[in-house]
A and B are shown apart, each in its own frame.
Chain A
Amino acid sequence: MIRKVLVANRGEIAVRIMRSCREMGIRTVAVYSEADRASMHVRYADQAFYIGPAPSTESYLNIDKIIEVAKQSGADAIHPGYGFLSEKAEFSDRCKREGIIFIGPDSHAIKMMGDKITARKTMIAAGVPVVPGTVDAVKDEADALKIIEEIGVPVMIKATAGGGGKGMRLVKDAKDVISSLRMAQSEARNAFGDDSVYIEKYIESPHHIEFQILADKHGNTVHLFERECSVQRRHQKVIEETPSPLLTPEIRNEMGRHAVAAAKACGYYGAGTIEFIVDDNLNYYFLEMNTRLQVEHPITERVVGVDLVKEMIGIANGFELPFRQEDLKQSGHAIECRIYAEDPDNNFMPSPGKIQHITEPLGLGVRHDGYVYEGYTIPIYYDPMISKLIVWAKTREEAINRMSRALHEYKITGVKTSIRFLAKIMESQDFISGKYNTHFIEKNHDFLMAEPECDGQCEDIALIAAFLEHTQKLNKVSTNGVDKKAVSRWKDIRHHSSI
Chain B
Amino acid sequence: MEISIDGRIANVQELARNGNYITMMVDGDVYEVDALRVSEGIYSIIYKGRSYNIEMIADTSARHYTVNSWYNSYKVEVIDAQTRYRMSREKGSHTDEGKIIVSPMPGKVVKLLVKEGDTVEAGQTLIIISAMKMESEFKAKVPGVVKHIAVNEGDTVDANKELITIE
What residues make up the interface of A, taking CB atoms closer than 8 Å to B? Answer: 341, 343, 345-346, 349-353, 356-357, 380-384, 408, 411, 413-414, 420, 452-454, 457-473, 485-486
Which of B55, B67, B104, B156 contacts A411, CB < 8 Å?
Answer: B55
In the complex, chain B residues whose CB is within 8 Å of the CB of A469: 37, 41, 43, 56, 65
CA distance A343 to B132 in the complex (A): 13
Which of B19, B54, B55 contacts A461, CB < 8 Å?
Answer: B54
Closest A-chain residue to B158, C-beta based? Answer: A353
In the complex the two chains form, is B132's CB within 8 Å of A341's CB? yes
In the complex, chain B residues whose CB is within 8 Å of the CB of A464: 12, 22, 24, 26, 31, 33, 35, 45
In the complex the two chains form, is B108's CB within 8 Å of A380's CB? yes
In the complex the two chains form, is B132's CB within 8 Å of A352's CB? yes
Within the complex, the shortest CB–CB distance from B17 to chain A, in Å, comes to: 9
In the complex, chain B residues whose CB is within 8 Å of the CB of A380: 105-108, 130-132, 156
* Binary per-residue interface labels of chain B (143-157) against chain A in the complex, 1 for a CB within 8 Å, 0 otherwise: 000000000000010
In the complex the two chains form, is B134's CB within 8 Å of A468's CB? no
In the complex, chain B residues whose CB is within 8 Å of the CB of A454: 71-72
CA distance A459 to B27 in the complex (A): 12
Given contact pairs A460-B27, A462-B74, A467-B24, enumerate 10 new A-B contacts (beta carbons under 8 Å): A357-B41, A413-B55, A459-B72, A461-B31, A465-B67, A467-B14, A468-B43, A469-B37, A471-B1, A485-B19
In the complex, chain A residues whose CB is within 8 Å of the CB of B10: 460, 463
Would you call B86 an interface residue if the criterion is a C-beta within 8 Å of the partner chain's C-beta atoms?
Answer: no
- Known A-B contacts A465-B67, A469-B65, A470-B78; the reply to A460 vs B131 at CB < 8 A is no
* Binary per-residue interface labels of chain B (72-92) against chain A in the complex, 1 for a CB within 8 Å, 0 otherwise: 111010100000000000000
In the complex the two chains form, is B72's CB within 8 Å of A413's CB? no
In the complex the two chains form, is A350's CB within 8 Å of B105's CB? yes
Which of A461, A466, A467, A486 contacts B37, CB < 8 Å?
Answer: A486
In the complex, chain A residues whose CB is within 8 Å of the CB of B43: 465, 468-469
- Known A-B contacts A468-B43, A470-B78; the reply to A459 vs B159 at CB < 8 A is no
In the complex the two chains form, is A463's CB within 8 Å of B12's CB? yes
Within the complex, the shortest CB–CB distance from A463 to chain B, in Å, comes to: 5
In the complex, chain B residues whose CB is within 8 Å of the CB of A458: 52, 69, 71-72
CA distance A350 to B6 in the complex (A): 22
- Known A-B contacts A469-B65, A486-B37; the reply to A414 vs B57 at CB < 8 A is yes
Interface size on B, residues (CB 8 A): 57
CA distance A40 to B25 in the complex (A): 46
In the complex the two chains form, is B12's CB within 8 Å of A383's CB? no
In the complex the two chains form, is B35's CB within 8 Å of A466's CB? no
In the complex the two chains form, is A350's CB within 8 Å of B74's CB? no
In the complex the two chains form, is A356's CB within 8 Å of B57's CB? yes
- Nearest 8 pairs of A and B residues by beta carbon: A452-B71, A350-B132, A384-B132, A465-B54, A350-B131, A460-B26, A469-B56, A462-B67
In the complex, chain B residues whose CB is within 8 Å of the CB of A420: 70-71
In the complex, chain A residues whose CB is within 8 Å of the CB of B128: none
In the complex the two chains form, is A384's CB within 8 Å of B134's CB? yes
CA distance A468 to B19 in the complex (A): 13
In the complex, chain A residues whose CB is within 8 Å of the CB of B105: 343, 349-353, 380
In the complex, chain A residues whose CB is within 8 Å of the CB of B142: none
In the complex, chain A residues whose CB is within 8 Å of the CB of B40: 357
In the complex the two chains form, is A461's CB within 8 Å of B65's CB? no
Closest A-chain residue to B65, C-beta based? Answer: A466
CA distance A384 to B69 in the complex (A): 23
In the complex, chain B residues whose CB is within 8 Å of the CB of A357: 39-42, 55
In the complex the two chains form, is A466's CB within 8 Å of B72's CB? no
Within the complex, the shortest CB–CB distance from B7 to chain A, in Å, comes to: 11
Within the complex, the shortest CB–CB distance from A203 to chain B, in Å, comes to: 27
In the complex, chain A residues whose CB is within 8 Å of the CB of B131: 350, 352, 380
- Known A-B contacts A380-B108, A458-B69, A461-B45; the reply to A466 vs B76 at CB < 8 A is yes
In the complex, chain B residues whose CB is within 8 Å of the CB of A473: 62
Would you call B114 an interface residue if the criterion is a C-beta within 8 Å of the partner chain's C-beta atoms?
Answer: no
Would you call B29 an interface residue if the criterion is a C-beta within 8 Å of the partner chain's C-beta atoms?
Answer: yes
Which of A345, A353, A356, A466 contacts B3, CB < 8 Å?
Answer: A466
CA distance A73 to B37 in the complex (A): 48
In the complex the two chains form, is B107's CB within 8 Å of A467's CB? no
- Known A-B contacts A459-B74, A463-B5, A464-B35; the reply to A413 vs B68 at CB < 8 A is yes
CA distance A53 to B137 in the complex (A): 25
- Known A-B contacts A458-B71, A465-B45; the reply to A413 vs B57 at CB < 8 A is yes
In the complex, chain B residues whose CB is within 8 Å of the CB of A460: 10, 26-27, 29, 31
In the complex, chain A residues whose CB is within 8 Å of the CB of B57: 356, 413-414
**6 sampled A-B residue pairs with Cβ under 8 A:** A350-B107, A411-B53, A462-B54, A464-B45, A467-B12, A471-B14
In the complex the two chains form, is A408's CB within 8 Å of B63's CB? no
In the complex the two chains form, is A468's CB within 8 Å of B22's CB? yes
Within the complex, the shortest CB–CB distance from B73 to chain A, in Å, comes to: 8
Closest A-chain residue to B43, C-beta based? Answer: A465
In the complex, chain A residues whose CB is within 8 Å of the CB of B119: none
Which of B73, B76, B104 contacts A463, CB < 8 Å?
Answer: B76
CA distance A382 to B108 in the complex (A): 12
In the complex, chain B residues whose CB is within 8 Å of the CB of A381: 108, 132
Closest B-chain residue to A347, C-beta based? Answer: B136
Which of A352, A461, A471 contacts B47, CB < 8 Å?
Answer: A461
CA distance A379 to B8 in the complex (A): 35
* Binary per-residue interface labels of chain B (99-135) against chain A in the complex, 1 for a CB within 8 Å, 0 otherwise: 0000011111000000000000000000000111110
CA distance A239 to B54 in the complex (A): 27
In the complex the two chains form, is A461's CB within 8 Å of B52's CB? yes
CA distance A409 to B61 in the complex (A): 29
